[in-house]
Amino acid sequence: MTEANNRKKRIVIKIGSSSLTSLHGEISRRKLERFTDEVVKLKDEGYEVLLVSSGAVAAGYRKLGCLKRPETLPEKQAAASIGQGLLMEAYSERFLSHGYVASQILITRSDFRDESRYENARNTANVLLERGIVPIVNENDTITVDRLKFGDNDTLSAKVAGLVDADQLIILSDIEGLYDDDPRKNKDAKLLEMVPEITPEIEAAAGDTGSSVGTGGMKSKIDAFKIAMASGIPAFLGRAGVSNLLVDAVENKAAGTYFERPRDAFNLDHKKQWIAFNSGPEGEIMVDSDAKAAILERKSGLLTSQIQAVQGKFKKGAVVRIFSPDAEEIALGAVKYSSEELKNLLKIEDDEGKNGQAVSIENLVCHLDLAMPAGL
């Protein structure tokens, strides 16, 4: 858990569309007020709180004249442009009634891929949190094209939790937590109260359960918890609307599922989180079996003599994917040579005999440390 001694405990809370909207697809004032009142309880107890809130498209599509949630990208973006304002207005009014100010942060995946913009977002969020503001984050659906989308706010919330060094991620859903089977199909399904590791069995149990209103099912939540756990951030999944759930969740006594790796588990630092989850690798390096073994043992050294191929065009400092001889992606890292410089080094060694010069890959992130499929 990342918690500086001189600041309050920092909580990131994600709430989905189905937890904020009515059956008709518009904002439910009752649901939103109940949720904000729960957040206010945390604020009153001194917690710093950042929200990742869905609901913009769901809140706006009926005012756009659509009878059901739009399916085309232009209609979704138009609905979001209406709904985002309605959503923020509702949040702002409710928080102000309790004496708290809310702010809006709209981002795209490209904002996170660019390291300088990522740091700017981090600095902005930190200032807001330290000043007692409640930042409300959402993807900028109005301008984002599919290839630049986070995909869902579950994933976004986990990445934002890493961005601000959160002490806990809470994801609220329309289900009590993670079960060992789909409780909507199996009445004997059991709630998993603690998950120290995301196993293939847990992923299989998650299935694709989700609401018709939102975009993220249980699978997207599992992916989000993988990111949080790899970043050393404890997480919780529970049902929205349950009285006092947020306070109980931060006190580890809520009904739901807690996701937390053992305290001695390897956790990614801030730089490695950016490399692993946000960077957008620009090239590929294929290494031999000796290098693969060293990487899997978390040794960051890599010699040019261990490189079998360099693909793509990248600059010095770029993030690259590292592949084994059998084409398995095993790691990501920031390389201190450009693709042209690396190829020249390999050519010189081929001409003079391979002695091996250090490639110096910084902040190497082995996929074993992430406990997730390569390329998430």
Which residues, in sequence order, are CB contacts of 76 under 8 Å at separation 6+? 57, 61, 70, 141
Write down the pLDDT at residue 234. Answer: 95
Q: Where are the alpha helices (DSSP H) in 98-145?
A: 109-113, 115-130
What was the pLDDT predicted at 341?
87
Instruction: Please report, for residues 95, 136, 155, 157, 285, the alpha-carbon distance to residue 103 in angstroms, rounded to integers and kept in the order given.
Output: 10, 6, 21, 16, 42
Q: Please state which CATH number belongs to domain 281-370.
A: 2.30.130.10
What is the structure's pLDDT at 214?
A: 42
Q: Where are the domains positioned within the chain? A: 10-271, 281-370
| Range 10-271 has CATH code 3.40.1160.10 | yes
Q: What is the full per-residue pLDDT of the chain (376 aa) written as tens digits? A: 444 445 579 999 999 888 887 877 677 889 999 999 999 999 999 999 999 998 888 888 888 888 787 888 888 889 888 888 889 999 999 999 999 999 999 988 888 888 899 999 999 999 999 999 999 998 875 555 454 455 578 999 999 999 999 999 999 998 889 988 877 788 888 999 999 988 888 887 776 544 444 444 788 899 899 999 989 999 999 999 999 999 999 999 999 999 988 776 677 888 888 888 888 889 999 988 888 888 877 655 677 788 888 999 999 888 999 999 988 888 888 888 899 988 888 876 565 555 556 666 666 676 655 544 333 3
Q: Residue 357's pLDDT is what?
A: 61
